[in-house]
Structure 1
Amino acid sequence: MNILYITMDGFDTASPNNQMAEQLIDGFLKLGNRVHLIQSERKHTYDVLPGTLVGRDGLTVDTLSRKVIDKSNFVVRYLDEAKYAFQMISYAIKRRDFDVVFLQSCPTVFFQEALLKLFVRKPVLYNVYDVWPGQTKSLNINKMVYAGMDLLSRAVYRMSSAVVVLSEDMVEACADAGCPRPRLHIVPPWFDDRRNYDIPWEKNRFVKKFDISHDKFYVQFAGSVGLQFNWKTMFEVAKLLRDEPDIVVQIIGDGCVKKDFMDAVDAEGLTNVAFYPLQPVDMVPDVYSTGDVCLIPLRREVIYTGTPSKMPILLACGKAIVSSVEKDSLYAAMVEREDLGVCVEIDNAEELATAIRTLHGDPERLTRLCEHGRAYARENLSRTVCVKRMEQVLEGIRRGGEA
């Protein structure tokens, strides 16, 4: 199968899509497909292609130059991304030998999809990371702007031969937004099974780097300590757990609210919170392996239009997860059904502290959750499994009709 892979940002620019793109393209090639990548280059922070893809048989690349535009200038950014769609289509037209199109979601995906429909007329898989406009309905934006965004997203769903999302909740959100259910497919976020995630304590680089003791029960949050992170709830949790001498809260990462959190901890005289700086990407398995319980704190409504991408790695590391999430979500039902961890209400410090105490006091249950999580990840959330699922969807639309 010949696959045209189109993405807005290229490998040279830091993006959460880059790891997924590298693993998908590598996986497609290993499965015997040919891939032509159309991408852009802007910031030149990294190489145009990662080392794993350089010189690969079956891979060809077109890289289009774009300007660096300040994130706060929404209108200019939007126009620049729309312009990229028109530049991209001329390169796509030249590649008449491909069978299917893999189109990564972006704010201006309507223009890419419409141009592909008009000039290329090959089946398109639309890969969705966040349902758009999604939770923006709950934000204070102009109703006409939202209505226009909603109409464009509905048009994209109608033009796509298949729509791939990350979770059951996203299936419902897309269906509610007008996407025909037969076109919807789930390929969840995955962990890279080319790597080792079973990091013993004595070989853990993060442990050695910060000389972390093995005689504590570590409750870990690793990620951005920015505006989306409710540090005040975690601060209340730490206060509720201050009389538990064995329990330590680890906060690993950087962000604009980290200093406020640290100042509050100092002012309260808490000794059960340990702060660490953001660690390199290659250290992620070591970081996650340090925690006994790993936290996934989500903002309200996020779970209905997205999904926590760190979950597969946490489970692969054999960690029980405690998620702050709406309990009526299909995500919460899955965590409970598969016995992967515990879900608590968002911003409920007392419920979160109780869940931590319960797991700390029940090592048998904690071990069971860890074992179930590792097995579930291996069977359902590995790169090998998920790339194969994506290829099956592409093959389905290549044969004709909806996958």
Structure 2
Amino acid sequence: MKIILINRYLYPDESATSRMTSSLASALAARGFDVVGLASRDVHNDPQRRLPADDRVGDLAIHRLATSRFGRSRLWGRAIDYLSFHVSAALWTLLHARRGDVCVVCTDPPMLSVTLALPLRLKGARMVNWLHDLFPEVALELGVPGTGRFGSIALRLRDWSLARAERNVAPIEAMTRLLGRRGIPARTLATIRHWADGDGIRPVRREDNALRRDWDLTDKFVVGYSGNFGRAHEFDTILAAAERLKDRPDIRFLFIGNGHKRATVERWIRDHGLDNVVFRPFQPRERLAESLGAADAHLVSLLPSLESCIIPSKFYGILAAGRPTLFVGDLDGEVARAVAHGDCGHAVAIGDAEGLARHILALREAPATCDRMAANARRLFEAEYTEARGCTEWIGLMDSLLPRPAANADPGRIAEPRLARERKAS
């Protein structure tokens, strides 16, 4: 009997869900479980790169499915890529899943639990859904074209598949409660918080940060945004705060990443003549600590209507890097409460650009306060959001579902950095 983890991207891809799923797969394999990772052959931010169909990294076997490659730039192309992954995953499951196997199904691509529910039932395998976000709620709330007409049908199908799963694992209690209100059986629901790589992402002193020097930021107070410029994130408040601070030559906004809204953000900055904003591309994993450490404080935003459906994964990396968080969104949401609990930043409501600018200025003018919040951020990470904590909870869940040969179990902590080390050594 084996564990099959299915996500559209896996190592060496660097997307958020890939890092999480790859980390868990490595930990489970190292603890003696027979683990197979199932993914596409693509890299999310490198459309020219094609990964091999079969691979092995340490104890982890990875099989990559053949899918279409229209890319992420158009919704129709993305939909076809999603569909082709659904079909390939269903066929692979019918051919390779066995009675008693546990299949951990992620939410990239959306609705995968619906497609795999019957094939897994036919093969006698058990489904565990890892809900990184909730579809179709997110698409309906964002008004994604084509979802409105089929939204109620998609909701019923999604709920049907979750109700038939062995477990449904959410990253936050708000999502777990929402699923309970939708009638998903309580016996199937569990909450295991996300995490970040606390070994690969550690605090880097400003004076030791090569990226700050390379990007001419050594004498600036840097406000960072790192990650996806997605539909679920709010930028108007951030941009309005940047405009309010445009006459402060000692403050820079550093935007790292890509996504649906990046072109709109860049256009707004050009139209308003701002020269206090710097754009940089995603940085490789080996420079992630420096990349996150290049900012003195980090921005995180989330539309309040999506609080129960999404958790911004960048937040955990910010905590690991030991930097304060400036959150824009629901003041009673998951990130806002964590920031208040850990005393590691500030939260403002959407539209409160004046408040955001005021908090930035306060941190700029009070370096000791900024440093204290930075230390608190790392302290909160080590207390509540480490890989060891998250993977241990998942291992406990798998232990309750699937026996593993004790002789093969490695009692040490295994997480994604081990994947990279073993890959280089092979």
Cα drift, residue 5 of structure 1: 2.2
Question: Is the contact between residue 132 and residue 171 of structure 2 (CA under 8 Å) also seen in structure 1?
Answer: yes
- Cross-structure match for 2:194: 189
Report the AA paired with residue 56 of structure 1: G
**Aligned runs of 1:195-274 on 2, under 5 Å?**
195-214=200-219, 216-225=220-229, 230-242=234-246, 244=248, 246-254=250-258, 255-266=262-273, 270=274, 273-274=276-277
Range that drifts further, 138-147 or 167-176? 138-147
- Cross-structure match for 1:316: 320
- Cross-structure match for 1:377: 381
Distance 1:227 1:108 in 2: 19
Question: Is the contact between residue 12 and residue 45 of structure 1 (CA under 8 Å) also seen in structure 2?
Answer: no
Distance 2:379 2:14 in 1: 31
Distance 2:26 2:134 in 1: 26
Range that drifts further, 306-315 or 330-339? 330-339
Distance 2:352 2:244 in 1: 12
Question: Is the contact between residue 219 and residue 295 of structure 1 (CA under 8 Å) also seen in structure 2?
Answer: yes
Q: What does the per-residue CA deviation read over 1:116-168, in whole Å, with 9 as the maximum and x for residues that have no partner?
A: 12322x33221111112123333556655111011011112211111111212
Question: Is the contact between residue 27 and residue 391 of structure 2 (CA under 8 Å) also seen in structure 1?
Answer: yes
Distance 2:366 2:22 in 1: 40
Distance 2:236 2:370 in 1: 26
Range that drifts further, 37-46 or 25-34? 37-46
Range that drifts further, 188-197 or 127-136? 188-197
Structure 1 residues 170 and 326: CA distance shift in structure 2, 3 A: same
- Cross-structure match for 2:421: none
**Aligned runs of 1:28-47 on 2, under 5 Å?**
28-41=28-41, 45-47=49-51
Structure 1 residues 294 and 28: CA distance shift in structure 2, 3 A: same
Match of 2:390 among 377, 386, 392: 386
Question: Is the contact between residue 41 and residue 65 of structure 2 (CA under 8 Å) also seen in structure 1?
Answer: yes
Cα drift, residue 13 of structure 1: 7.0
Q: What does the per-residue CA deviation read over 1:35-68, in whole Å, with 9 as the maximum and x for residues that have no partner?
A: 1233343567243389xx73524x3444432222
Cα drift, residue 220 of structure 1: 1.7
Report the AA paired with residue 18 of structure 2: N
Report the AA paired with residue 367 of structure 1: D
- Cross-structure match for 1:84: 88
Q: What does the per-residue CA deviation read over 1:70-103, in whole Å, with 9 as the maximum and x for residues that have no partner?
A: 553266445434422431222333x45x642222
- Cross-structure match for 1:27: 27
Structure 1 residues 103 and 135: CA distance shift in structure 2, 3 A: closer
- Cross-structure match for 2:157: 152
Any idea what SS the aligned residue of 1:328 has? coil
Where does structure 1 lack aligned partners over 5 or more consecutive residues?
none
Range that drifts further, 364-373 or 165-174? 364-373
- Cross-structure match for 1:100: 102
Question: Is the contact between residue 120 and residue 126 of structure 2 (CA under 8 Å) also seen in structure 1?
Answer: no
- Cross-structure match for 1:328: 332
- Cross-structure match for 2:136: 133
- Cross-structure match for 2:166: 161
Report the AA paired with residue 4 of structure 1: I
Any idea what SS the aligned residue of 1:102 has? strand
**Aligned runs of 1:273-284 on 2, under 5 Å?**
273-282=276-285, 283-284=287-288
Cα drift, residue 360 of structure 1: 3.1
**TM-score, structure 1 length as denominator?**
0.85
Report the AA paired with residue 135 of structure 1: V
Question: Is the contact between residue 101 and residue 123 of structure 1 (CA under 8 Å) also seen in structure 2?
Answer: yes
Distance 2:52 2:203 in 1: 31
Structure 1 residues 228 and 329: CA distance shift in structure 2, 3 A: closer
Distance 2:243 2:7 in 1: 45
Structure 1 residues 263 and 125: CA distance shift in structure 2, 3 A: same
- Cross-structure match for 1:66: 67
**Aligned runs of 1:277-316 on 2, under 5 Å?**
277-282=280-285, 283-316=287-320
Within the alignment, does 1:397 sit opposite 2:398 as a pair?
Answer: no
- Cross-structure match for 2:358: 354
Any idea what SS the aligned residue of 1:251 has? strand
Distance 1:379 1:88 in 2: 40
Cα drift, residue 358 of structure 1: 3.0
Question: Is the contact between residue 297 and residue 325 of structure 1 (CA under 8 Å) also seen in structure 2?
Answer: yes
Any idea what SS the aligned residue of 1:250 has? strand
Question: Is the contact between residue 226 and residue 256 of structure 1 (CA under 8 Å) also seen in structure 2?
Answer: no
Distance 1:290 1:142 in 2: 39
Where does structure 2 lack aligned partners over 5 or more consecutive residues?
404-426
Any idea what SS the aligned residue of 2:307 has? helix
Q: CA RMSD in A?
A: 3.0
